[in-house]
Structure 1
Amino acid sequence: MSRLTDLIARTKGNDPQLGADLEREFKALSSRLPYGLNFERHSPEAVELPLRPVRKGDKVRVLPERGSTKKGDQRLWQVKAIQKAKKLADLELLGPAKTETQSVALDDLVVVAEFRDTIYPGLVSTGKVERGGDKPFHTVINGENYHALKALTYAYRGKVDAIYIDPPYNSGAKDWKYNNDYVESDDLYRHSKWLAMMERRLLLAKDLLNPAESVLIVTIDEKEYLRLGLLLEQLFSYATIQMVSSQINPKGVSRGGSFRRSDEYLYFVMFGTARPCRMPLSSEWSTSTQSDLENSSEDGSPVTPDWTSMMRRGSEAYRNDRPSMFYPIYADPITRKISAVGAALPNGEHAAPPKKGLVAILPIRKDGSEGRWQIGASELESRIKQGRVRLGRSTSYGFVVNYLPDGAYADVISEKFLIQGYADDGSVIAFSEAGDLSRVASTQWKIASHNASENGSSLLATLLPKRKFPFPKSLYAVEDALRFFVLEKKDAVVLDFFSGSGTTAHAVMRLNRQDQGKRRCISITNNEVAADEQKALREQFLRPGDADWEKYGICDFITKPRVKAAITGKTPEGGSIKGDYKFTDEFPIADGFEENAEFFTLTYEAKSAVNHNLAYARIAPLLWLRAGAQGLRIDKLPPEGWALVNTYGLLTEVDAAAPFINAVRQAKALRVAYIVTDDDRRFQAIAQQLPRAVEPVRLYESYLTNFSFSNGE
């Protein structure tokens, strides 16, 4: 290894870029695990930016001539000069030892950003819809999601409460690209490309999630769930991870002669103290075991705590697995009370010592085999004193013995239950305050509302007539998955960076309506045109970047119209949407929601323009997002040298600090004060005079440092 390090160091002296690339790959190889998930991380991804003007120093590709369906030149060129009068760019090929140059029309070039490049992002508003008064805005960002995630690290680092993503399932169909190429089913590196793509984005998501309490929810099907599970374990080894199986199509989908697939999987990655909320659940969520029935009222709604059988089930459930937990429990058959707990039976003994007038209960399974209890004898005696043990129904071998596990007992002594006393056998009597028992769902979901055909595709067709999107999620499935984690967070920040049809934002709006919440959703999607439509558009001499091409992209054709239709209750054509929402909260779709949303396109700014205050208009939305995406925004540099809006203030001239500080002190809801200065001493002097509740942020140092840091510089 040391020899390789020396060789890389020598290479850096002759060719710094080659040396840096070799060092990066060496580090990746040396960090591989001897066991676990190993995969090729490939060359960094690159994305074409058809809406970005060509600048000197840019990396570009040469487009095929209009009308051609060919891919064109995939090599990267660097713009050395721009001939404005002739509308030409002088290019030099990147990479080869021998110099190759050419001059190409600006209209025939597309800017390319590689993911190892440092970017300085901005946002340009492309419209908004306002029906929510002073509520925060939901945001939809049109851009490459890797770069959009980087942009969000400035506004939301460590502040996101929940991420819900439905990434491409890597089916081999034309559902996703890697370096501008569709990944086909016969690609030998299909799985490692998918993993590399996911890993890069999940590492950025890690920076955004609140480490103290947040959740990452990822949906997937059988083609990549194993690899995804290993990837999540490696990236988030400190988190609690569970996988849920959810039926999304009762009829099933053909798998080429194999079993018909009717379900998919959801990974829940829970950080810090995050756990699914207990809540009243319909009978659909229950496996309807005898224990469930015993804990339910006559109408099926649960009213008492989760009493669980003392008999061990599942793994290590036999006497030989834990001999010390094969002991008799003695019960009085008349009073139905546990009277004594015996010692573990010696090996070879199968009958409990008799006690006069008492029934001896041993953990004997239905098939006659010897099982074991869940807890030891001394622990059982302790829990009997706490009122956590009681007898259930009578059986051929005595009685069923039930107890309250730690989680259920914690709920009983919390505010969720009212303890009404103790039964004659000493067991606690408790009921939930609402008259029913909140529970946590199992990991098998067979819920009618989660049908993706009826409540995904059909619902989308109702909102956006004559517009199609492949395999949208059931609105209610996304709503339910999020509810378990944001039910008690009415101001939660929810992120979806594979947004597609906008289902997550729609689900967050429904959650807000149910409890008057102010949760806000950030949706990231690109404006990729469906593969089967691209050929026809190219034959019409159109290219990405043309208005008649872009209007059919996912963001402009599906995501933005869907979010707007959900809020207004009207189709893109202006007609009232027919039909009603179902489940949980039933009301006419045409009623819409009292919500606000704004739509943005991601931009790529020059560092020099940022430093000289020339890119402020594109950075302004990021400042607004960081301050809570609420109320007015300062979109232009204030002529007075400072300005205040609902949640933040901006000081652009430090000589105007005195009136700015005075105004900040009088403001009631201010969260952030942005101060533009290159002088750290003056920044500190102003910051010290601000109220403690106001966060001082130095521009543009904080902005530039954030993106240099996030790129490892």
Structure 2
Amino acid sequence: MSRLTDLIAKAKAKDAALGAELDREFKMLSSRLPFGLNFERHSPEAVELPLRPIRKGDKVRVLPERGSTKKGDQRLWQVKSIQRAKKTAVLELLGAEESETQTVTMDDLVVVAEFRDTIYPGLVSTGTVQRGGDKPCHTVINGENYHALKALTYTHRGKVDAIYIDPPYNTGAKDWKYNNDYVEGDDQYRHSKWLAMMERRLLVAKELLNPENSVLLVTIDEKEYLRLGLLLEQLFPEADIQMVTAVINRAGSQRAGRFSRVEEYIFYLFFGEAQVSLWTSTMLDDVIQIEGQKPAMPTVWFTAVRRGTPSALRNARPNLFYPIFLDSNTGKLHSVGEPIGKDVDRSVVAAPTGTIAMWPVHSDGTEQTWRFSADRMRQYFAAGTARLGRRDPRSGFRPVTYLQPGTLANIDNGTFVVTGRNEEGALELALADGAAKLLAPRTVWSQSGHFARDHGSTLLKGMLNEKRFDFPKSLYAVEDSLRFVLMHKPEAVILDFFAGSGTTAHAVMRINKQDGGRRQCISITNNEVAADEQRKLREKGLRPGDAAWEKWGICDYITKPRIAAAVTGKTPDGKPIKGAYKFTDEFPMADGFEENAEFFTLTYETPLSVSHNLAFSRVAPLLWLRAGARGRRIEKLPADGWAVADAYALLNNVDAATPFIKALTKVDGVRIAYIVTDDDRRFQAIAKRLPDGVEPVRLYESYLTNFSFTNGE
């Protein structure tokens, strides 16, 4: 509505009578608000991009002179022409009734992107830490999180298993910006600006979550939890929502004449088959188990084998599309069949006499895949680590489930014992004598490890050798929050698009070490300089984009050093980190983690440069991310016309298709083949020749189409 107010004001300026009539009708309509959460959507946000070079056609702002602490001209101008020799640009004022132009030195301009603008993103690597062998890389992206989320719609649409975010709490202090301005406590639109900011990002995040099995976690305090809860219900009507109350400061935060606050809140949104794993504590206190309570037996040891993610469609992984034959009378396992060709109709496959064929097909008829090959399926059934569930009386089919690696590890370490097999050979498990009892976590948590001062601020200060960040989350609080939904997902993808100091990635590393997982975390943060530091830097004549300014930004100064320190076990000056990790897994922090991490900065490309191969080095990291962020990356266009990396391959000369495909057959683990061509017929012909299990992706059509259709607002 604030946007309508602005438009009506413009109408009044041009035609007072028409403006007054529009204003009258608007007030009548606004008095009849619908039931639910109502808030102003505001004009689309705008973000300044100080590292982006100036191009003709760009929207820009004119910066205040160096040394000034004033806000400067906030009007938007468009670059009409650039005079390279003089390093100046001719600008025209946008939205003006009368034409207004000026010529400005390019050093005094900053590019501005509005969130209704279409963007074409790229990534530039700014460093890496390698200690994890062939494990996937944790990635940190420095950029505006809305635009970075848009970039991930190309690489991770429907592939994210968990999103954990700790957004600004809207305290009224200078904790977040809207349209390049800090939102103050007395701003009458403070709450609606916050909601508009959150809504835009959550809508994109929704595209990234796996609708079949994923979880969204959002932490918040009392200032916005009521509005946030309503927003989440409106945006995610399909989710099952719970709210956890977590004690983070037992000493309490004093409020004059009011109760002393000790808690914050965590919204959990469960999608599809997502569940909470049992644990050794109820989370109500620090006691491992409740005295006298009977052991709670896990109900989710066995997990579904049919995969339901968008990347698990039959066409993408045909070698994982095969039948399981069941006895027509008893429903018992008869045998496991072989994969069939991409173009073979499953109805023509003959089942052995007296059996029915069960395929990985969704209830709506969509052909999907099993999680693993036919050979491994046979091995799992023989070992009793896969089993068949209750029989559907109408179809005769039975769901297939299996024991995940985390459960098998608990068998090996003695937490679980095998008590026998059922009549069909599936393992039966029980808790070992003396093992901690597994319990359902409660919705109120009171854990000493969640105290933010001791295990957030103090821990981070020890890692970086100085205080660099206010109010980081307790590492163990984030670890526990994620463990309950990631315990049985050893290869999960986790996203945090309000990454701050990098606690989420650190927590994922901790969980990986505890169960040998290969989970990977994608962290998105900007390089905003703290509010109290900005004035000092401006007084020195510095601006955003200057190296001496950027080094103090949150990504370069805090997030990247923290994640590097966690992996290496060393402080930024190369000294071993003092102290030890506590609670679930205790070991010296100086040991670090066997993990890999790489850091990137978001770039803004043009569709012309992308389609003409001029931006390949910046698009290359996106291709690597889409293939799982694992192994070697193809950094430049191969001179031979093709290249094969660990997880993906690239064909940039379709005339070299034959040697390319021959090379593909010799490499295990390749998931995607990117084929550069404008000819759809040739693309389809090459796609049919690819080895089973390799997904064909056409460049640059898939990239350009993705962003031209998903970035406009």
For 1:513 and 1:250, how far apart are their aligned partners in 2?
29
For 2:492 and 2:199, how far apart are their aligned partners in 1?
25
* 1:259 partner SS: coil
* 1:229 partner SS: helix
Would the alpha carbon gap of residues 514 and 56 (structure 1) be closer, same or farther in structure 2, given more than 3 Å must change?
Answer: same
Give 1:304 shift: 6.8
- Code of the residue aligned with 1:580 in structure 2: it is A
For 1:283 and 1:233, how far apart are their aligned partners in 2?
26
**Equivalent residue, structure 1, for 2:385:** none
1:639-666 Cα offsets, whole Å, 9 max, x none, are 0010011010001111111111111122
**Equivalent residue, structure 2, for 1:361:** none
* 1:81 partner SS: strand
For 1:257 and 1:632, how far apart are their aligned partners in 2?
60
**Equivalent residue, structure 1, for 2:248:** 248
The answer to whether the aligner puts 1:689 opposite 2:678 as a matched pair is no
**Equivalent residue, structure 2, for 1:519:** 519
Give 1:433 shift: 4.7
Give 1:611 shift: 1.1
Give 1:126 shift: 0.2
**Equivalent residue, structure 1, for 2:629:** 629
Give 1:59 shift: 0.2
For 1:687 and 1:430, how far apart are their aligned partners in 2?
45
**Equivalent residue, structure 2, for 1:102:** 102
For 1:84 and 1:531, how far apart are their aligned partners in 2?
34
* 1:501 partner SS: coil
**Equivalent residue, structure 2, for 1:268:** 268
**Equivalent residue, structure 2, for 1:639:** 639
The answer to whether the aligner puts 1:111 opposite 2:114 as a matched pair is no
For 1:638 and 1:305, how far apart are their aligned partners in 2?
51
Give 1:170 shift: 0.1
For 1:77 and 1:87, how far apart are their aligned partners in 2?
17
Contact 2:282 2:439 in 1 (8 A): no
For 2:128 and 2:588, how far apart are their aligned partners in 1?
23
Contact 1:67 1:540 in 2 (8 A): yes
How is 1:393-408 mapped onto 2 (pairs within 5 angstroms)?
none
Stretches of structure 1 lacking an aligned partner (at least 5 in a row): 12-21, 297-301, 307-414, 421-428
* 1:53 partner SS: coil
Contact 1:650 1:675 in 2 (8 A): yes
* 1:666 partner SS: coil
Contact 1:303 1:431 in 2 (8 A): no
Contact 2:634 2:645 in 1 (8 A): yes
For 1:577 and 1:634, how far apart are their aligned partners in 2?
35
Would the alpha carbon gap of residues 236 and 227 (structure 1) be closer, same or farther in structure 2, given more than 3 Å must change?
Answer: same
The answer to whether the aligner puts 1:77 opposite 2:77 as a matched pair is yes
* 2:665 partner SS: helix
* 2:124 partner SS: strand
- Code of the residue aligned with 2:485 in structure 1: it is F
Would the alpha carbon gap of residues 155 and 430 (structure 1) be closer, same or farther in structure 2, given more than 3 Å must change?
Answer: closer
**Equivalent residue, structure 2, for 1:568:** 568
- Code of the residue aligned with 2:457 in structure 1: it is S
For 1:680 and 1:39, how far apart are their aligned partners in 2?
45
Contact 2:283 2:442 in 1 (8 A): no
- Code of the residue aligned with 2:261 in structure 1: it is R
**Equivalent residue, structure 1, for 2:34:** 34
How is 1:543-622 mapped onto 2 (pairs within 5 angstroms)?
543-622=543-622
**Equivalent residue, structure 2, for 1:295:** 293
- Code of the residue aligned with 1:438 in structure 2: it is L
1:162-195 Cα offsets, whole Å, 9 max, x none, are 0000000000000000000000000000000000
* 2:707 partner SS: helix
Give 1:260 shift: 1.6
**Equivalent residue, structure 1, for 2:406:** none
For 1:37 and 1:597, how far apart are their aligned partners in 2?
40
- Code of the residue aligned with 2:36 in structure 1: it is G
* 1:600 partner SS: strand
**Equivalent residue, structure 2, for 1:204:** 204
For 1:556 and 1:458, how far apart are their aligned partners in 2?
20
- Code of the residue aligned with 2:530 in structure 1: it is A
Between 522-531 and 436-445, the greater mean CA deviation after superposition? 436-445
- Code of the residue aligned with 1:477 in structure 2: it is A
For 2:150 and 2:40, how far apart are their aligned partners in 1?
23
How is 1:503-518 mapped onto 2 (pairs within 5 angstroms)?
503-518=503-518
For 1:666 and 1:139, how far apart are their aligned partners in 2?
29
Between 44-53 and 251-260, the greater mean CA deviation after superposition? 251-260
The TM-score with structure 2 as length reference comes to 0.77
For 2:156 and 2:497, how far apart are their aligned partners in 1?
14
**Equivalent residue, structure 2, for 1:426:** none
Contact 1:295 1:305 in 2 (8 A): no
For 1:70 and 1:537, how far apart are their aligned partners in 2?
13
**Equivalent residue, structure 1, for 2:134:** 134
For 1:699 and 1:288, how far apart are their aligned partners in 2?
53
1:239-258 Cα offsets, whole Å, 9 max, x none, are 00000000000001123442
- Code of the residue aligned with 1:250 in structure 2: it is R
- Code of the residue aligned with 2:149 in structure 1: it is L
For 2:637 and 2:471, how far apart are their aligned partners in 1?
44
Contact 2:91 2:103 in 1 (8 A): yes
- Code of the residue aligned with 2:668 in structure 1: it is K
The TM-score with structure 1 as length reference comes to 0.77
Give 1:41 shift: 0.3
Give 1:261 shift: 1.2
For 2:40 and 2:297, how far apart are their aligned partners in 1?
53
Give 1:284 shift: 4.9
**Equivalent residue, structure 2, for 1:699:** 699
**Equivalent residue, structure 2, for 1:168:** 168
1:551-597 Cα offsets, whole Å, 9 max, x none, are 00000000000000000011111111100000110000000000100
- Code of the residue aligned with 1:170 in structure 2: it is N
For 1:186 and 1:213, how far apart are their aligned partners in 2?
41
Stretches of structure 2 lacking an aligned partner (at least 5 in a row): 12-21, 300-410, 421-427
Contact 2:37 2:230 in 1 (8 A): yes
Between 659-668 and 692-701, the greater mean CA deviation after superposition? 659-668
For 1:520 and 1:597, how far apart are their aligned partners in 2?
9
For 1:450 and 1:260, how far apart are their aligned partners in 2?
17
* 2:689 partner SS: coil
**Equivalent residue, structure 1, for 2:540:** 540
**Equivalent residue, structure 2, for 1:151:** 151
Give 1:516 shift: 1.0
* 2:277 partner SS: coil
* 1:187 partner SS: coil
Query: What RMSD in Å do the two structures reach over aligned CA positions?
Result: 2.6
* 1:495 partner SS: strand
**Equivalent residue, structure 2, for 1:125:** 125
1:307-329 Cα offsets, whole Å, 9 max, x none, are xxxxxxxxxxxxxxxxxxxxxxx
1:25-64 Cα offsets, whole Å, 9 max, x none, are x9xx99x972110100000000000000000000000000
For 1:618 and 1:441, how far apart are their aligned partners in 2?
44
For 2:650 and 2:622, how far apart are their aligned partners in 1?
13
* 2:260 partner SS: strand
Contact 2:280 2:436 in 1 (8 A): yes
For 2:429 and 2:567, how far apart are their aligned partners in 1?
42
- Code of the residue aligned with 1:597 in structure 2: it is A
* 1:82 partner SS: strand
**Equivalent residue, structure 2, for 1:468:** 468
**Equivalent residue, structure 2, for 1:226:** 226
What is the aligned length?
569
Between 496-505 and 274-283, the greater mean CA deviation after superposition? 274-283
**Equivalent residue, structure 2, for 1:432:** 431
- Code of the residue aligned with 1:467 in structure 2: it is K
- Code of the residue aligned with 2:209 in structure 1: it is L
Contact 1:431 1:437 in 2 (8 A): no
For 1:304 and 1:156, how far apart are their aligned partners in 2?
35
Give 1:280 shift: 2.2
Would the alpha carbon gap of residues 436 and 668 (structure 1) be closer, same or farther in structure 2, given more than 3 Å must change?
Answer: same
**Equivalent residue, structure 1, for 2:347:** none
* 1:673 partner SS: strand
For 2:474 and 2:239, how far apart are their aligned partners in 1?
27
* 1:254 partner SS: coil
Would the alpha carbon gap of residues 499 and 456 (structure 1) be closer, same or farther in structure 2, given more than 3 Å must change?
Answer: same
Between 665-674 and 221-230, the greater mean CA deviation after superposition? 665-674
